[in-house]
Amino acid sequence: MVKQDRAIRTRRTILEAAAKVFEERGYQAATIAEILHTAGVTKGALYFHFESKEQLAQGVLHEQDQQFVIPARTCKLQELADEVLLHAYRLQRDAMVRAGVRLTMDQHAEGLDRSGPFLRWSQICRHLLETARAQGELLPHVSPAVTADIVVATFAGVQSMSQTVSDYQDLSQRSTALLRHLFPSIAVPSVLASLDLSEQRGETVHNEIRHRHKTQPTTTS
Amino acid sequence: MVKQDRAIRTRRTILEAAAKVFEERGYQAATIAEILHTAGVTKGALYFHFESKEQLAQGVLHEQDQQFVIPARTCKLQELADEVLLHAYRLQRDAMVRAGVRLTMDQHAEGLDRSGPFLRWSQICRHLLETARAQGELLPHVSPAVTADIVVATFAGVQSMSQTVSDYQDLSQRSTALLRHLFPSIAVPSVLASLDLSEQRGETVHNEIRHRHKTQPTTTS
């Protein structure tokens, strides 16, 4: 168990170093040598966890996926909103999430498949929208597949503009504004009226998850 | 006049070379030497038009601005849709526009102010939305400034996802889907019912502008 804990910590140290180097240099210019130097681990340790620069990048890309599952909501559109607003909250505060998103948007990352996060997020959104449809939350014309892609793509653009013009200072406001522009086109009015799309929602969900994890027995350290 | 024509052509040649090099290398790694080599012009010619790598990049960034003014529409939300759908059309077909957009989204372009296109586009959208408001096209709660930023940011994300997953093949469909998700939240129903947000709209507007320019006396060559 102790050995496994150490392996998890080492893997995390390496990913944090990779995130930092990719963030500073971009994928293309980053080197394994620099990641090794930043992580302060042995070559053997690094190659035990990651075989190549691309695997390191994929590791960082995966870190933006929600590590904790959002509490299930009766209203699936609220759950979708929670996914978006929690992601915005984490993006403002977690350097690793930020590095994953920036790597996803790194157009000069040749040879790196960056479609993963777009497709994974789209999958999650689509699943929520299909359940929402089955529950009667959606307007009749909505196509879960098309709307899922729109949610993912538009959030990618909103975070990018927020990063460019305010270094993420205004991301919560912009994320709320985004959902207030999208949801009236997809939700039936009674559902729309029940949603919490406020700027504080991301933090609320974050605290809710943290509290839940603290009060339950943990399975990993 | 002949001299001026040549200067315009040389400037264009240099910008096309810069666009190509920025696109291949990213802003950070691109060098003036490589742009010179690609353009095949003298150092003197290049520095006559652009004093620095940043000025070259700003030149490319400006090329994504609409060069021809969209025909004024009675309905200002249609004009806004036309701006977005024409931009999508040009993005699929014009390498220079593509280079400008990619430079705008280049997060590793240190020392390059990339906020210009976001802010200029947002300005244009805001102006159209303010006129739309005065004409009674908007729902009462809409804030032209907030909605303008949402239109610009969400389009940036949609083009980015389209580039990543299909190399812009599906950009027209995605742009139409975007507007169909945003406009119901901002337009009054009677305006909504009158809008052409179809996938062919960008091409229609492009041909309309081209035809108008052909049948009018040109002011520059």
Radius of gyration of chain A (CA): 19
Residue of B nearest to A145 (CA): B177
Mean pLDDT of chain B: 89
How far is the C-alpha of B23 from the C-alpha of A76, rounded, in Å? 41
pLDDT band at B92 (very low <50, low <70, confident <90, very high): very high
- Asked whether the beta carbons of residue A177 and residue B107 sit closer than 8 angstroms, the reply is no
From chain B, the residues in CB contact with A182 under 8 A are 181-182, 185
How far is the C-alpha of B65 from the C-alpha of B43, rounded, in Å? 27
CB B86 within 8 A of CB B76: no
Which fold would CATH assign to domain B2-52? Answer: Arc Repressor Mutant, subunit A (1.10.10)
pLDDT of residue B67: 61
pLDDT band at B149 (very low <50, low <70, confident <90, very high): very high
Q: Which of B135, B149, B150, B152 is nearest to B187 (CA)?
A: B135
Can you read off the two tokens belonging to residue A203? 């933090």
What's the mean pLDDT in A158-164? Answer: 91
pLDDT digits (tens, 9 = 90+) for A85-144: 999 999 999 888 888 888 888 877 777 888 888 888 899 999 999 999 999 999 999 999
Q: Which of B119, B198, B113, B116 is nearest to B152 (CA)?
A: B119
Cβ-count burial B97-118 (b if 16+ within 10 Å, e if not)? bbbbbbbbbbbbbeebebebbb
How far is the C-alpha of A173 from the C-alpha of A187, rounded, in Å? 21
pLDDT of residue B220: 44
Torsion on CA atoms A137, A140, A146, A152, rounded to nearest 10: -30
User: Of A2-16, B7-21, B91-105, where does the model show the most confidence?
Assistant: B7-21
How far is the C-alpha of B35 from the C-alpha of B41, rounded, in Å? 9
pLDDT of residue B219: 47
CB B85 within 8 A of CB B201: yes
Cβ-count burial B48-83 (b if 16+ within 10 Å, e if not)? ebbeebeebbbbbbebbeeeeebeeeebbbbbbbbb
pLDDT of residue B111: 79
User: Of A12-26, A183-197, B110-124, where does the model show the most confidence?
Assistant: A183-197
Can you read off the two tokens belonging to residue A135? 């529950």
In order of A71, A170, A198, A209, A211, the CA distances from A204 in angstroms are 12, 17, 10, 9, 11
What's the mean pLDDT in B50-76? Answer: 85
In angstroms, the separation between the Cα of residue B30 and the nearest Cα of chain A is: 12
Residue A153, Cβ neighbours under 10 Å: how many?
A: 27
Residue of A nearest to B178 (CA): A150
pLDDT band at A221 (very low <50, low <70, confident <90, very high): very low
Which residues make Cβ contacts (< 8 Å) with residue B10, sequence separation at least 6? B41, B45, B49
On the CB side of A168, CA atoms within 13 Å amount to 14
pLDDT digits (tens, 9 = 90+) for A57-100: 999 888 877 665 788 999 999 999 999 999 999 999 988 888 88
- Asked whether the beta carbons of residue B163 and residue A107 sit closer than 8 angstroms, the reply is yes
What's the mean pLDDT in B13-25? Answer: 91
What's the mean pLDDT in B22-41? Answer: 91
Which fold would CATH assign to domain A76-215? Answer: Tetracycline Repressor; domain 2 (1.10.357)
- Asked whether the beta carbons of residue B160 and residue A155 sit closer than 8 angstroms, the reply is no
Can you read off the two tokens belonging to residue A187? 């939700």
Q: Which of B80, B57, B33, B109 is nearest to B201 (CA)?
A: B80
What's the mean pLDDT in B4-18? Answer: 90
From chain A, the residues in CB contact with B180 under 8 A are 185
pLDDT score of A215 more than 80: no
Q: Angle between the A115-134 and A95-104 helix axes, to the nearest 10 degrees?
A: 100
Residue type, A221: S
pLDDT digits (tens, 9 = 90+) for A19-42: 999 888 888 889 999 999 999 999
Best A104, A106, A108 member to test B by mutation, with max B CBs in 10 Å, is: A108
pTM of the model: 0.84
Strand partners for B187: B138
pLDDT of residue A107: 74
For the question of an ipTM over 0.85, the answer is: no
B156 touches chain A (CB under 8 A): yes
In order of A41, A45, B216, the CA distances from B211 in angstroms are 64, 65, 9
pLDDT digits (tens, 9 = 90+) for B159-201: 999 988 888 999 999 999 999 999 999 999 999 999 999 999 9
Residue spans per domain, chain A? 2-57, 76-215
- Asked whether the beta carbons of residue A26 and residue B28 sit closer than 8 angstroms, the reply is yes
How far is the C-alpha of B115 from the C-alpha of A116, rounded, in Å? 27
pLDDT of residue A216: 61
B172 touches chain A (CB under 8 A): no
Domain A2-57: give its CATH code: 1.10.10.60
